[in-house]
Structure 1
Amino acid sequence: MITQQKILQLLADTECHRVERTTSKNDMDKFCQAICAFSNDLSGDGKSGYLMIGAYDNGELSGLKVDDTLLLKIANIRTDGNILPQPLMTVEKFTFEGGELLVAEVQPSEFPPVRYRGRVWVRVGPRKSPASEMEEKILTERRLSNVRTYDAKPCLGASLKDLDISLIKKEFLPKAVAEDILAEDKRSIEEQLASLGFFDLRYNCPTVGAIVLFGNNPERHVHGSYVQYVRFKGIDRAGDIIHEFKFDGNLCKSLPKIDTFIETSVSTKRPIPVSVLREKIVSTYPYWATRELLMNAIMHRDYDSNSPIQFYEYDDRIEIQNPGGLYGKVSPENFPNVSDYRNPFIAEAMKVLGYVNRFSRGVYRVQKELKENGNGEAKFDFSLRTAFRVVENISKKYFEEGFGADNPENTKKAQRNNQEQPENNQKTTRKQPENNQKTIKDEIVELIKENPNITRKELENLLNRTPNSIKYHLEQLTKKGIIKREGSDRVGKWIVIE
């Protein structure tokens, strides 16, 4: 981190490409644009940039008082996912006679171009501005020379024909690049993908990450790039296989299927009475926590391995195992407080597609949700060296009503009976949502009744669901004739058919 003496020198000097001064405390767009520009380091000098909050353009201090709220707000820029790839930065408060100063030190990224909300910002002298096509090309070439991760390597033998271009243009580019920038972009699809880290112009081929995310047949080039789900009867792999499924194909298409599968087939729900008039919904495995653990496995796995991700369900637990142990700076001692990314471009794309909400916070929320649901904390196994395994125990609360969760033998017996009598079990679980429990579809219908003009984004926020989950349920409700859409997506409204 920069020293106090160095700060005094920078304050006394004129503002340059390495320093941004401001007296504002709330202009988050300005702060993020500056951090994005410093990360891109267009000058290529390899030196850190400094955002100084609490100083005028002439270097005089404004008398700002830096509190914990401001420190936290600026520090959160690193992990909120609006700047991608994730910036390398530190934040610190300095105290002088004329006031306090908040300094964010930003290191140049090894994977430029860096984008803030789909737009590349650069710094030329004392000003910052959106990058031109030529400036973006310079940053792209610099990234190619810094390539170290497997997902950024050229997939030799593959070509543009191996990618689903229509999928990229329809589902990914509009989310990854600002609308006005995309409309003005006259470059070829190869150059557009190269600027996002998914095409290698030197070898004229897609990267490994592009094949995994958008490939027509990813396994042809990246063997083992799929998720293998198996439901075993009993508590180990010696039991009979009740159900198995292979989630293959590119991630852009398979992630929505995995998301829906967890919600509808793994996260079985039932109401637990809390009082005479109130019930609490408890799941065998909470949807969001289970989904987050599996998405982390997909994001952090070693794609150089031929092994798939194992998503195995037993009577008493779920085990998720992915190829590749802890990576980079992460160790058993500092996990999950320290994060590092084996596949930064795949991680960035999953954030853009809506499957990663915020970096470095998922494990804490997973543990909280699991404890509240009665599963106990997830157990992470670091002993496998070349693999990473997490175990999620089934919820004890789920079996409290009528199953005697205080008796483990009764719980196991009930679980076995559920598998041995599928017809009766299906009849029971189908009746519960109608009489005792609100399903996600019920909640969507109620919200539409309250506000026919409600948007998908509002439904996502109110129900804490992903875009693809809301899209899936709206399509199902429409197909069943429960709701219909009148007018366009932008100005139309929903109608509940009585």
Structure 2
Amino acid sequence: MARVSDQDLADVLGTRETPSLEFKRTAKREGRRGDAVGNAVCAMANDLANRGGGDILIGVGDDGYPVGEVDTSDRALLALTDLRDDGRILDRPSLTVQRAVYRGRPVVHIHVEASATPPVRFEGVVWVRPGPTTRRATRDDERVLAERRRANDGPFDSRTVPGAALDDLDLDLFRRGYLPAMVDVDVIEENGRPLFQQLASLHLTSPEEIPTALGLLTVGFDPSSRIPGAYVQFVRFQGTGLDAPVSDDQELRHNLVDTAARLETVLRGHLHTRLVGDGFRETPRPDYPFEALREVTMNALMHRNYETSYAPVRIAWFEDRIEVTNPGGPYGQVRTDNFHRVTDYRNPSLAAAMKGLGYVNRFGRGIGRIRAALERNGNPPAEFQVDESSWAVTLRRAAT
């Protein structure tokens, strides 16, 4: 899996802890909630010292010397790599984990890239490394991180939207729903920050109080008024073709929270469930497993191209199938031939918000969950059509 570096890292990184180098004796969790490695990864991603990220060496004591035996098995490396995808660190960090040599002894080396969209949180808490120690961020630390973002830097979802104002945001929804979902409750109580700082810290506005695309998408009253393609079109056909009569046609022009709630009602309302007998036992079986519908629609909202396309996410429900299409082809490391096993994020802050709000369970698991849910319910495998400008997923109805 991972290779051992030929060069001794002591010659490359140094022998003392710095804002960009941290030593850990072990990768084990500390206490009920503590996770020293998770805190350190979060701090390196925040990169308060502006060093471009940082490195964590597991198996090295505070004195800079290896502690002895350290688990460098593939299983241990995979467990650490899981920090990237398990959703406890938001926005999702970019990191690598590999075996290495430090002062002649084997260690685990984690390299973390600086985030383009700070502040990053681990389990709802912002961690920074202003010197050779990792600590919770102060209000001023968070302000520095928020101000480091620039309107035209980074992904589209972190940029401000021309013409948008605070009046476009549902601030009551932000206070009662979004904020407690994204930030540890103790941090909210301790910091006592004003509203504009809370919004900027969570990437919903700039420090100048201008809403970002993320702010409009997640808590905006009508995101499509500023981002034209930010809505869902649902059509129910009474047949198998586009020329069939339409029994339901809706446009969902709501923020993420309200869209998810409305989508659940619409999709469940069109599901038909029958009883399937097995001897004396009968079990309910829907035409489509709701878990698969949720994954398909939420992933469409997460990965679509909001920047240059005005087309909506489209859900076409026919008698024999459901087709979900969204604008935006493969992004970053994803290609048409590897999309089922490689994940990258066009909208990283939106992905983080959806994880925090509970619409996504883990990163990079959507296609696998869709396939598994369909198989359990007796549906044919999902059909994916991916080209340079769009995605389409077709779910076939379970056999009667």
Instruction: Output the TM-score relative to the length of structure 2.
Output: 0.92
User: Aligned to 2:256, which of 251, 263, 267?
Assistant: 251
**Could you tell me which residue of structure 1 aligns to residue 230 of structure 2?**
225
Displacement of 1:292 in angstroms is: 0.3
Counterpart amino acid of residue 285 in structure 2: V
Secondary structure of 2:353's counterpart equals helix
- Going from structure 1 to structure 2, the CA distance change for 1:394 and 1:155 (only over 3 Å counts) comes to same
Instruction: Kindly provide the CA deviation profile for residues 42-67 of structure 1, in whole angstroms up to 9, marking residues without a partner as x.
Output: 11121x42222222222223212333
Counterpart amino acid of residue 9 in structure 2: I
**Could you tell me which residue of structure 2 aligns to residue 15 of structure 1?**
17
- Going from structure 1 to structure 2, the CA distance change for 1:186 and 1:64 (only over 3 Å counts) comes to closer
Counterpart amino acid of residue 209 in structure 1: L
Residue correspondence of structure 1 range 29-428 to structure 2 within 5 A: 29-46=35-52, 48-58=53-63, 59-94=65-100, 100-144=106-150, 147-202=153-208, 204-262=209-267, 264-274=268-278, 276-304=279-307, 305-383=309-387, 385-396=388-399, 399=400
- Going from structure 1 to structure 2, the CA distance change for 1:222 and 1:146 (only over 3 Å counts) comes to closer
Runs of 4+ in 1 over 6 A off after TM superposition: 95-98
Secondary structure of 1:346's counterpart equals helix
User: 2 CA distance for matches of 1:178 and 1:298?
Assistant: 25
- Going from structure 1 to structure 2, the CA distance change for 1:11 and 1:107 (only over 3 Å counts) comes to closer
**Could you tell me which residue of structure 2 aligns to residue 447 of structure 1?**
none
CA RMSD, Structure 1 to Structure 2 (Å): 2.1
Instruction: Output the TM-score relative to the length of structure 1.
Output: 0.74
Q: How many residues align?
A: 392
**Could you tell me which residue of structure 2 aligns to residue 495 of structure 1?**
none
Give aligned-pair identity as a percent. 35
Q: Which runs of 5+ in 1 are unaligned?
A: 400-498
Counterpart amino acid of residue 322 in structure 2: I
Structure of greater Rg: 1
Secondary structure of 2:17's counterpart equals coil
Q: Does 1 or 2 have the higher relative contact order (CA < 8 Å, sep 6+)? A: 2
Any conservation in 2 of the 1:64–1:99 contact (CA below 8 Å)? no
Displacement of 1:17 in angstroms is: 1.8
Any conservation in 1 of the 2:45–2:115 contact (CA below 8 Å)? yes
Instruction: Kindly provide the CA deviation profile for residues 142-190 of structure 1, in whole angstroms up to 9, marking residues without a partner as x.
Output: 2226723222221222211111111100001111111122123343322
Counterpart amino acid of residue 269 in structure 2: S
Instruction: Kindly provide the CA deviation profile for residues 357-414 of structure 1, in whole angstroms up to 9, marking residues without a partner as x.
Output: 100011112112212322222111123x332211111112xx0xxxxxxxxxxxxxxx
Secondary structure of 2:100's counterpart equals strand
Counterpart amino acid of residue 51 in structure 1: I
Counterpart amino acid of residue 293 in structure 2: T
User: 2 CA distance for matches of 1:266 and 1:23?
Assistant: 55
User: 2 CA distance for matches of 1:272 and 1:322?
Assistant: 34
Secondary structure of 2:394's counterpart equals strand
Displacement of 1:352 in angstroms is: 1.2
Displacement of 1:99 in angstroms is: 5.5
Secondary structure of 1:199's counterpart equals coil
Q: Which runs of 5+ in 2 are unaligned?
A: none
User: 1 CA distance for matches of 2:164 and 2:299?
Assistant: 27
**Could you tell me which residue of structure 2 aligns to residue 488 of structure 1?**
none
Counterpart amino acid of residue 74 in structure 1: L
Counterpart amino acid of residue 226 in structure 2: H
- Going from structure 1 to structure 2, the CA distance change for 1:123 and 1:395 (only over 3 Å counts) comes to same
Any conservation in 2 of the 1:84–1:115 contact (CA below 8 Å)? yes
